[in-house]
Copies of this chain bind each other. A is one copy, B any other.
């Protein structure tokens, strides 16, 4: 595969894209010109304003086609690569048993005022998602699903009481960045309440960007289309990393 690619309309390298948007200007040639200007600024050149339609007196909706000049540099693409193997439920169970010699406790919730439980249920409930069984199905996992609209203090309390190894929170509503605010608040609360000993924090939801984990103060972020198996495999990986880290710390302390 080539390193640099461009969008493909019907010919390699033609750079063709489609875009649509609304501008707060009354319809007319001036508005079309404004749309053209915006498209140009987006790097679309030549840009064809192929449709414009008034929305009330003050807005105009546009559809624009054209060739975008930018190149995509595939070497520069940043994605969260799965740095761990995908394990089957049996493999997950075996690995956890060996690692912990007890069940791993997972607490899940949909926090803030968000009431969309279908996503977190897809990960946790036996029924699962995309043909994969959810975490409840795993013998070596104890799953506590707190449901929807759980406040952050309540979550921290339940996680602490339940000796959670991992906390999984879901956020589906994103208007006004609700998902980011809530996740940050949650991470801060755990830091505050438990410091170093806080459980593994995992956030998920369809509009999350997995690259944001560090920024949000959580260990991992899962986006749209996540499957339970991915999450379970990650848990094994993360617990393993923690164990290595903890035993290293332990060793250092012992030596001190």
Contact A72 B23 (CB under 8 A): yes
Please encode chain A, from 1 to 35, with 1 for each CB lying within 8 Å of some chain B CB and 0 for all others.
10001011100100011111111110001101110
Q: What's the dominant secondary structure at chain A's contact region?
A: mixed
Give CA–CA (A70, B37) in the complex, Å: 10
- A41 and B70: CB pair below 8 A? yes
Q: Is the CB of B30 within 8 A of A21?
A: no
Question: Could you list 16 examples of A-B contacts with CB < 8 Å?
Answer: A7-B22, A8-B21, A8-B22, A8-B23, A8-B59, A9-B22, A16-B21, A17-B21, A18-B21, A30-B74, A34-B72, A36-B77, A37-B77, A37-B78, A38-B70, A50-B207
Chain A contacts to B: CB under 8 angstroms = 1, 5, 7-9, 12, 16-25, 29-30, 32-34, 36-38, 41-44, 46, 48, 50, 59, 68, 70, 72-74, 76-81, 207, 209, 224
